[in-house]
């Protein structure tokens, strides 16, 4: 989070023009301006990772809903817990044939048929 965002948030809280409306399970803090229809924003806890915003808070941030999510935000049985985006790290997914895995792929099995126009 930029220094400017933190300073503006601090100033708006002190002057009563914004208030903290909640936190999520990752420790991210959510703010809203006190004027009707005011801005909404998040101060991330730790690394600024947009995918760390849970679905309920994402709906609220984008003004899809005005209802604040509860502590046990809506979730479905098929949803998985948060997993950070590992792209660009040593833990990133690298399929067979990736240069970091030797650059060799298994040979084609012969089950592929190229499309031919009629």
> What is the domain partition of the chain in residue ranges?
3-77
Q: Tell me: the pLDDT tens digits for 26-64?
A: 899 999 999 999 999 999 998 888 888 888 899 999 999
| Mean pLDDT confidence for 19-24 | 94
- Say what the pLDDT of residue 27 is: 92
Give the integer Cα–Cα distance in Å for 74 and 72: 7
Tokens in use for 118?
């009629």
- Say what the pLDDT of residue 72 is: 56
Tokens in use for 1?
């989070």
Residue 103 Rama label (left phi>0; alpha psi -120 to 50; beta):
left
Indicate yes or no: pTM above 0.75.
no
């Amino acid at each position: 989070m930029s220094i400017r965002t933190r300073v503006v948030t601090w100033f708006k809280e002190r002057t009563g023009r914004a208030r903290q409306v909640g936190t999520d399970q990752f420790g991210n803090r959510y703010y809203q301006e006190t004027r009707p229809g005011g801005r909404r924003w998040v101060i991330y806890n730790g690394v600024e990772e947009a995918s760390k915003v849970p679905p309920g808070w994402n709906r609220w941030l984008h003004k899809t809903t005005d209802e604040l999510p509860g502590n046990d935000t809506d979730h479905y049985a098929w949803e998985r817990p948060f997993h950070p985006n590992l792209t660009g790290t040593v833990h990133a997914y690298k399929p067979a044939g990736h240069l970091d895995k030797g650059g060799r792929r298994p040979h084609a099995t012969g089950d592929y048929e190229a499309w031919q126009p009629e």
